[in-house]
A and B are shown apart, each in its own frame.
Chain A
């Protein structure tokens, strides 16, 4: 064991209005807060917001890329902390919280920041299972 922190490589996406329309169409999500600026403002938002499930996809990707080919993402969890808007650059980063050799699991703390000021829009965690002969080095 070592006390050196293992970081999750950043994953990013800048979903614009087209991205949100595509994602909403394929998931059949017609909630107007995702594409109708006037409506979104009437709800107290600054504009159309990113779907929760799209945040989840970025959290999943961060975990999947951390564990690498042959590994498995077992859990992903996130809580929405602030709205992310169309055009915001979203960046998910994280670090290893714990390693459970008995269960073969690694738990990652993840955070997503958005926009030019890096406002935290989601926090969460993931549990991954590295490949048995993989290149993830347990702490």
Chain B
């Protein structure tokens, strides 16, 4: 079985299995740094000292890990996290982002402790020679979900 076929088999076995990870507590300085790195100039997004400071809505959904980051063993040789794309851990496959659909149900605020839950919901074998994995994610606090994301990964 090729690495590509192994990834498909593993991903199919993961369909509907939800897992949870903590993204830690949202800090104003980190959210502001994110906004600056994204090229924002709106003072409400880049100046954490303002009374009307807002966490950039894309911040938590762009964050792959919480502080203090990951241990060396958690990375693939390509630098991606071993568990970032479900089913691909340890396999010699190429990974690309396919796109996202982000839906905001509420506002992420400074001090929120954010968890993300995720599950594979679809695995498609494309005739052009790659797998398309669909992963549903829900970001939120103990009080409920704040952001939902449908993310697609290309596995070649």
Contact = CB atoms under 8 A, between A and B. Distances in A.
Interface string A21-33: 0110111111111
A9 interface: no
A106 interface: no
Given A28-B69, A61-B40, A73-B104, A80 B63 contact: no
A31 B104 contact: no
B16 interface: no
A57 B34 CA distance: 10
A36 B77 CA distance: 12
A52 interface: yes
Given A32-B78, A57-B39, A79 B98 contact: yes
Interface stretch (B54-62, B112-120, B133-141): B54-62
Nearest to B75: A30
Q: Is the interface of A mostly helix, strand, loop or mixed?
A: mixed
Interface residues of B, number: 34
Contacts of B56: 57
A80 B99 contact: yes
Contacts of B13: none
B83 to A, nearest CB: 14
Contacts of A60: 57-58, 102
A12 B152 CA distance: 24
Most buried by A among B37, B64, B78: B37
A88 to B, nearest CB: 13
Most buried by A among B94, B99, B104: B99
B99 A30 contact: no
Interface in B28-71: 30, 33-34, 36-40, 56-58, 61-65, 69-70
A77 B79 contact: no
Interface string A57-82: 11011000000000011111111100
Given A26-B30, A28-B63, A60-B58, 17 more contacts: A13-B38, A15-B39, A27-B63, A28-B65, A28-B70, A32-B79, A52-B97, A53-B100, A56-B58, A56-B62, A57-B56, A57-B58, A61-B40, A74-B103, A74-B104, A77-B100, A80-B97
Interface of A: 13, 15, 19, 22-23, 25-33, 36, 39, 43-44, 51-54, 56-58, 60-61, 72-80, 122, 124
